[in-house]
């Protein structure tokens, strides 16, 4: 990777993965920084699954979990994506990357600063361009999706998932109780409204998790995950999807990823390096 510019991406969920693919295909060396227990729902298109399995594959991108930077360098040298468990991005100080992209999508800043790299970009609300980072990328569905915000912030979080086929909040399933999650349906299954798709084992017994609408189960939480009440568990797509699309990066993720690539090249142009 000696001739490649290093881009550190904080987060490896489904939205981050669209960005990682764009950067990797464009010739950058990409290092993902993740938590020890990522809670991706769209797991088939989230490179962060390498935290659990050691390796993840999304379309043409292979990601390997590494224990240290030396191991990560060997992975990057093989034209693969490397992942380190480092939720606080402590390694950034020593690595001095060419760019840092915050793709956690926490709706708030979890510690990303402009001092981390010559070029910094963040996805979605919770950041101010020109203060926290150089550029913010709009992530809300609609006319401005993928817009580069050079001053100020992205549109505020509404707390309601974007509309797909006219359906918003109903397509996301949340935990009604705290406990340990266990799915009985898998990603790609067609489910009907009211179907039991999982159980939560609580201190007093099992609570059924039911489908909020009829559609394709586009994402569901990993088994044996400890959840709290209100935790996001599943994503149901109301469209009659080709189930192969459940393992392909979404249109939104590709759009945002393209915007990140554009933003980095724009910063390179105006900064002169």
8 A C-beta contact, residue 177 and residue 229? yes
Q: Which residues pair with 80 in a beta bridge?
A: none
Residue 62's pLDDT is 97
Could you tell me if 22 and 47 are in contact, meaning their C-beta atoms sit under 8 angstroms apart? no
Q: What is the pLDDT of residue 170?
A: 79
Burial 67-92, CB ≥16 within 10 A → b, else e: eeeeebbebbeeebbbbbebbebebb
Output the six-digit token pair for 55: 């390796």
What is the per-residue pLDDT for 171? 80
pLDDT at residue number 48: 98
For residues 102 and 108, is the Cβ–Cβ distance under 8 A?
no
Q: Is 224 helix (H, G, I), strand (E, B) or coil?
A: coil
Tens digit of pLDDT at every position of the chain (273 positions): 556 899 999 999 999 999 999 999 999 999 999 999 999 999 999 999 999 999 999 999 999 999 999 999 999 999 999 999 999 999 999 999 999 999 999 999 999 999 999 999 999 999 999 999 999 999 998 999 999 999 999 998 766 665 554 555 678 999 999 999 999 999 999 999 999 999 999 999 999 999 989 999 999 999 999 999 999 999 998 876 678 888 999 999 999 999 999 999 999 999 987
The neighbouring-strand residues paired with 65 are 83
The pLDDT of residue 56 is: 98
- The residue with tokens 């159980």 is 199
Q: Is 63 helix (H, G, I), strand (E, B) or coil?
A: strand
pLDDT at 37: 96
Residue with tokens 């402009």: 114
pLDDT value of residue 245: 82
Give, as one character, the DSSP assignment of residue 26.
Answer: T
Residue of 13, 39, 43, 44 whose CA lies nearest to 244: 44
Q: Which domains does the chain have, with CATH numbers?
A: 6-157+251-271 (3.40.50), 169-238 (2.40.50.100)
């Amino acid at each position: 990777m000696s001739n490649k510019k290093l881009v550190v991406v904080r987060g490896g969920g489904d939205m981050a993965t669209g960005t990682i693919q764009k950067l990797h295909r464009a010739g950058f060396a990409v290092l993902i920084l993740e938590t020890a227990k990522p809670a991706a729902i769209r797991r088939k298109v989230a490179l962060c699954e390498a935290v659990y399995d050691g390796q993840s594959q999304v379309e043409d991108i292979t990601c390997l979990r590494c224990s240290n930077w030396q191991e990560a360098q060997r992975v990057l040298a093989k034209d693969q994506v490397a992942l380190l468990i480092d939720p606080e991005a402590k390694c950034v100080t020593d690595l001095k990357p060419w760019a840092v992209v915050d793709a956690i999508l926490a709706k708030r800043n979890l510690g990303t600063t402009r001092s981390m790299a010559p070029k910094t970009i963040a996805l979605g609300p919770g950041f101010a361009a020109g203060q926290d980072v150089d550029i913010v990328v709009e992530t809300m569905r609609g006319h401005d999706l993928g817009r580069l915000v050079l001053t100020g912030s992205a549109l505020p979080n509404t707390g309601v998932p974007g509309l797909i086929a006219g359906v918003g909040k109903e397509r996301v399933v949340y935990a009604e109780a705290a406990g340990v999650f266990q799915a009985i349906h898998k990603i790609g299954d067609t489910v009907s409204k009211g179907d039991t798709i999982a159980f939560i084992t609580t201190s007093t017994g099992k609570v059924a998790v039911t489908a909020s609408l009829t559609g394709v189960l586009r994402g569901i939480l990993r088994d044996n995950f400890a959840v709290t009440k209100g935790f996001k568990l599943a994503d149901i797509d109301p469209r009659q999807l080709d189930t192969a699309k459940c393992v392909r990066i979404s249109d939104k993720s590709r759009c945002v990823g393209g915007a990140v690539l554009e933003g980095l090249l724009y910063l390179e142009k105006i900064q002169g390096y």
